[in-house]
Structure 1
Amino acid sequence: MDFPVTFQIFGKTVLAHPVFETLGIFLGMRFYFYLKRKSTEKLSFNTSAAVLIGATAGALMGSKLIGNLENPYVLFENFNFKRFWTNNTIVGGLAFGLIGVELAKKIAGHKESTGDLIVYPLILAIIIGRIGCFLTGIHEETYGLPTTSIFGMHLGDEYLRHPVALYEIGFMIVLWICLKIVEKKRKYPSGFIFQLFMLSYFTFRFFLDFIKPKIEIAGNLGAIQLVCLLVIIYYIYKIKNTNKIKL
């Protein structure tokens, strides 16, 4: 396979990443609305609208902010709006999307968790998006460090690299299966599956970023890893105190 994989769309050459990212968002949203129609838990229009606006605004801001803070020297010393707008990370999107939802729920006066329904659509969207990351190779900053392990792949340069996008796809498939098993064990409080998803995904991303190129911000940790640590600490506390489960 030659990297990067591109598509001809309206006479223009487009990398696979934005194509699959858009497809992932579209299919994830369709899956979410399908699950929402089947769900017995109904939210009022005002609450649904507030949550949607909060999640979208938070995710948009967070994905770009954390994505650009991965290389703060470029952000602050040589600011370029186009680069800022096109630089994203799902870690920032999820973390700030959570903040946006919580603020929206406070404004709407809604206290119950609203996250469980979005878990599997999120996993689906991430899997499809990571297919695009893999097909783009080294032409966007979603590739792994060089490696001599049996997992190394040529992604568009002379090095064998960790195919981190494939690692993430594999992890998300396993996580989907594990969460389904947990759901069938017994009835959990509303929001528990979302909490477990967030704790699992951010823990995985914290360790995955050790084999990805990064600018070290604190010690040997990059911006994404620092965000991951904060979210991990938050959800360990939340799961232990809200659900009364010993970890």
Structure 2
Amino acid sequence: MKLPFEPVIFGYEINIHLVLEYLAFFLGYRYYVFLRKRTVDTIVSTNRLSIILGAAIGAFLGSRIMGFLENPVFPIDATSILELFNAKTIMGGLFGGLLGVEIAKKIIGEKESSGDLFTFPVILGIFIGRIGCFLSGTNEFTYGKETTFFMGMNLGDNIIRHPIALYELIFLIILFFVLQKLKTRNLKNGLLFQYFMIAYFAFRFFVEFLKPNYFLIFGISSIQILCLICLLYYNKTILNLFVKNAS
């Protein structure tokens, strides 16, 4: 299959990434509803809706802000300004969503951890979205540097590159099953989502070194800086993991 994959149906070229992005939101939400029906939720429905709203607003703002900071160029023409508003990244969405949830919980006075129920739907949504990124080849900035690595691929520009989106798909499959295994150990409420965030942001920190980033601060990208902020946010959980393993 040639990348970018741009199917034509009834004479219309389909934006496969956009289609899969919408599908990711839809199936992710349906998976969340499916899990909630089979889970004893300690958070009442009205508070849960407020938390979802906070997550949605935070994710929207976070994804756009980090999308801009990934390559902070101030455009002067209308087309570039439109592209600026369309710039987004899942990393900003995740961390922005996290902050949105925490703010919403503060407002409504909710004390219970709320992330575990979102963990696997979020992984499913990211996975579907990354399929779209992979099929988009070099049309999306999820491709890597030129490489001689055996998994290198021609993603559309006739250069053998690291298929970053494919690496992430493999990682997400592994992470899904590892977290499913941990779920059976009766973890403290909220830990499952924290483990997901720590694992995913740590993975993205290291895989960013394989991308041809142009905007760097102290040798690392804005996404990597966000990853470090997120890992610092969960520093107590990370420390407890090391202490627990050491003992």
DSSP-derived class of the 2:61 partner:
helix
Contact 1:24 1:128 in 2 (8 A): yes
Q: TM-score, normalised by structure 2?
A: 0.92
**Matched positions, count:** 244
Match of 2:139, as an amino acid?
H
TM-score (norm 1): 0.92
Distance 2:11 2:85 in 1: 24
Q: 1:159 corresponds to which residue? A: 159
1:233 is matched with 232
Could you tell me how far 1:46 is from its partner in structure 2? 2.6
Change (3 A) 1:181 1:100: same
CA drift of 1:16 comes to 1.6
Kept in 2, the 8 Å contact 1:239–1:245? The answer is no
Displacement after TM superposition at 1:11 (Å): 5.6
Q: How far apart, in 2, do the equivalents of 1:5 and 1:64 lie?
A: 25
Shift of 1:78: 4.1
> SS of 1:6's equivalent?
coil
2:42 and 2:112 in contact (8 A); partners too? no
> Counterpart of 1:140?
140
Q: Which runs of 4+ in 1 moved over 3 A?
A: 7-12, 77-81, 238-242, 244-247
Aligned residue number for residue 175 of structure 1: 175
Cα distance, 1:144 vs structure 2: 1.1
Q: Is the aligned partner of 1:49 residue 2:49?
A: yes
Per-residue CA deviation, residues 201-246 of structure 1 (Å, 9 max, x unaligned), is 000000011111212331211111100000011112245469x856
Q: Which runs of 5+ in 2 are unaligned?
A: none
Change (3 A) 1:149 1:227: same
1:217–1:223: 8 Å Cα contact kept in structure 2? yes
Partner of 1:39: 39
Q: C-alpha separation between the residues in 2 aligned to 1:10 and 1:92?
A: 36
Match of 1:130 in 2: 130
Q: In the alignment, is residue 188 of structure 1 matched against residue 179 of structure 2?
A: no
Name the amino acid aligned to 1:106. K
How far, CA to CA, are the matches of 2:234 and 2:245 in structure 1?
A: 13
Q: Answer whether contact 1:63 1:92 (CA < 8 A) is retained.
A: yes
Q: How is 1:217-232 mapped onto 2 (pairs within 5 angstroms)?
A: 217-232=216-231
Q: Can you list the C-alpha shifts for 1:3-50, whole angstroms capped at 9, x where unaligned? A: 211244686423221111111111111000110111112422331121
Matched with 1:2 is 2
CA distances 1:131-156 after superposition (whole Å, capped 9, x unpaired): 11111000121211110111110110
Partners of 2:152 and 2:34 in 1: CA distance: 38
Work out the CA distance in 2 between the residues paired with 1:104 and 1:128.
Answer: 27
Alpha-carbon distance in structure 1 between the residues aligned to 2:147 and 2:239: 38
- SS of the equivalent of 2:25 reads helix
1:85, distance to aligned residue in structure 2 (A)? 2.2
CA distance in 2, matches of 1:171, 1:29: 22
Gaps of 5+ in 1: none
Provide the rounded CA distance (Å) in 2 between the counterparts of 1:245 and 1:9.
55
Indicate conservation of the 8 Å contact 2:66/2:88, yes or no: yes
Match of 1:91 in 2: 91
Q: Which whole-Å CA distance do the structure 2 matches of 1:77 and 1:27 have between them?
A: 35
> Shift in Å at residue 65 of structure 1?
0.8
The answer to whether the 8 A contact 2:43-2:112 is kept is: no
